[in-house]
Structure 1
Amino acid sequence: MIVIRVMGGLGNQMQQYALYEKFKALGKETRLDTSWFDNASMQENVLARRSLELRFFDNLTYEACTPQEREALLGKEGFFNKLERKLFPSKNKHFYESEMFHPEIFKLDNVYLEGHWACEKYYHDIMPLLQSKIIFPKTDNIQNNMLKNKMNSENSVSIHIRRGDYLDPENAAMFGGICTDSYYKSAEGYIRNRVTNPHFYLFSDDPAYLREHYKGEEYTVVDWNHGADSFYDMELMSCCKHNVCANSTFSFWGARLNRTEKKIVIRPAKHKNSQQAEPERMHELWENWVIIDEEGRIV
């Protein structure tokens, strides 16, 4: 049995679910462990407490692991049990993500997988299946419904600019300085050179910043989905014909769920500052994505 821990925000949850579907497609008995959301101690170091948002999607179903199934792989808690697993690695069935891509996980069985699994290569081949299963619940929000129709009728482009928690000292060292002004200027130029009369829809947790820096009839700031409705921003991103992503799994999934043929999707050269930018490797792992670094260079 393969058990995958679900944790983090919506984008990360979708990636863990996507990996679940990939293992299912390979014929593996697979479960999702959602206990992270029920245990406050597991979120002690998380700046914003998270909830299980996968439950909001209409067609998204999965098999959850039981406490007994989790214990069968992780063993019982306690000092001596942890020591035994450390001294006898063969008894340790807990696999932690430590690289951008771990192809070896698909050869494993009876293992507990913990990580975010952001790499496109994990589930690129089953993206049509994921698009058919990740269906946003219907909304009565008139602005959202009108905007989806408008996006469909024009050369719409989403731009996601994440600020908010990325400006906090705890996060700035890890995530700051990646999606720079040069990155966004280059991405916008790339779109303008290939798309006729693009209209840019701007998404951010700092709409005041957007209004100050993006002025003109070709820009629309989307700023009305808040709280429990925030995930509708991801749906609106997916309704655009092209996507410019932040170093954020939220906008990665807005782009992934975009069903437009020959769409342009742009992402930064790295997700966090602890990674080395390796263009050749990135193009292998993120097939058909345009990759731009913090200097605005297309790599």
Structure 2
Amino acid sequence: MIIIKVMGGLGNQMQQYALYEKFKSIGKDAKLDISWFEDSSMQEKVFARRSLELRQFKDLQFNTCSTEEKEALLGKSGILGKLERKLIPSRNKHFYESDIYHPEIFNMSDAYLEGHWACEKYYHDIMPLLQEKIQFPESANSQNITVKKQMKAENSVSIHIRRGDYLDPENEAMFGGICTNSYYKAAEEYIKSRVPDAHFYLFSDDSVYLRENYPGDEYTIVDWNKGEDSFYDMELMSCCRHNICANSTFSFWGARLNRTPDKIVIRPAKHKNSQEIEPQLLHELWDNWVMIDGDGRIV
């Protein structure tokens, strides 16, 4: 059995779910472990408390593991369990993500997988299946209904600018300074050179910043989805014809769920500051995505 640990925010949860569907598509027995959201001690270790937001999607089905199934792969907790794993390492099937892409996991039959699995190559080939399964419930907000119609009727482009928690000291060293003004300017210019009459829809956790920096009729600021309704921003991103992402799995999924056949999807060349930019590898693992670095250069 393959068990995939679910943790983190919505975008990460969707990647863990996507990997689960990938394993199922190749005939593997796979389940999700959702205990991270039920363990208060784990929640205390993260800066922002999370809930299992996968449940917000309409009729999304997935199988979860039992405690016994988890222990069969990891062994029991406590001193005796740790001693057993130390003396007999082969009994511990715990696999930690440590690289950008781990193709070897698809050869495993029994493993407990822990990671975020952001790489597009993991599930690019089953994206049509994921687009069918991941459905948003109908929004009761008339603004969402109206803007969805507008997006589908014009050359709409989403721009995601994540500030908020990325400016906190806990996150800035890892995620800050990647999506620079030069990145966004180059991304807009790339779109404008290929898409006539592009209209940009801006999404951010800092609407004041958007109003100060993006004046003009070519921009529409989407700032009304709050709290539990925030995930409708992802749906609206997916309704645009083209997407400019932040270094955020939230906007990655807005782009992934976009069904426009000839869509242009732009992302920063780095997701984290610890990542080295390897152009050839990036293009292999993120097929058809446009990569732009912090200096505004296409990679």
TM-score, L = length of structure 2 = 0.99
Does residue 180 of structure 1 match 2:180?
yes
Instruction: Return the offset for 1:139.
Output: 1.3
Amino acid at match of 2:274: S
Does residue 230 of structure 1 match 2:230?
yes
Instruction: Return the offset for 1:59.
Output: 3.1
Aligned-residue RMSD, C-alpha:
0.7
How many residue pairs match? The answer is: 299
Amino acid at match of 1:189: E
> Structure 2: 5+ residue runs without aligned partners?
none
Q: Which segment is superposed worse, 92-101 or 73-82? A: 73-82
Cα distance in 1, alignment partners of residues 187 and 59 from structure 2: 34
> Structure 1: 5+ residue runs without aligned partners?
none
Instruction: Return the offset for 1:82.
Output: 1.4
Instruction: Return the offset for 1:109.
Output: 1.2
Instruction: Return the offset for 1:16.
Output: 0.3
Cα distance in 2, alignment partners of residues 22 and 32 from structure 1: 12
- Partner of residue 153, structure 2: 153
SS of 2:152's equivalent in the other structure is helix
Cα distance in 1, alignment partners of residues 7 and 295 from structure 2: 32
Amino acid at match of 1:93: K
Amino acid at match of 1:165: D
Cα distance in 2, alignment partners of residues 79 and 274 from structure 1: 34
Cα distance in 2, alignment partners of residues 107 and 129 from structure 1: 22
Does residue 91 of structure 1 match 2:75?
no
Does residue 44 of structure 1 match 2:44?
yes
- Partner of residue 268, structure 2: 268
- Partner of residue 144, structure 2: 144
Instruction: Return the offset for 1:254.
Output: 0.1
Cα distance in 1, alignment partners of residues 155 and 174 from structure 2: 34
SS of 2:157's equivalent in the other structure is strand
- Partner of residue 107, structure 2: 107
Amino acid at match of 2:298: I
- Partner of residue 170, structure 1: 170
Cα distance in 2, alignment partners of residues 86 and 193 from structure 1: 59
SS of 2:31's equivalent in the other structure is strand
- Partner of residue 22, structure 2: 22
CA deviation map 1:28-76 (0-9, x unaligned): 0010010100011112221110000111111310111111111111111
Cα distance in 1, alignment partners of residues 257 and 73 from structure 2: 33
- Partner of residue 258, structure 2: 258
Percent of aligned pairs with the same amino acid: 73
Amino acid at match of 2:108: L
- Partner of residue 125, structure 1: 125
Does residue 192 of structure 1 match 2:192?
yes
Amino acid at match of 2:154: E
SS of 1:201's equivalent in the other structure is strand
Instruction: Return the offset for 1:276.
Output: 0.5
TM-score, L = length of structure 1 = 0.99
SS of 2:3's equivalent in the other structure is strand
Matched ranges for 1:201-212 at <5 A: 201-212=201-212
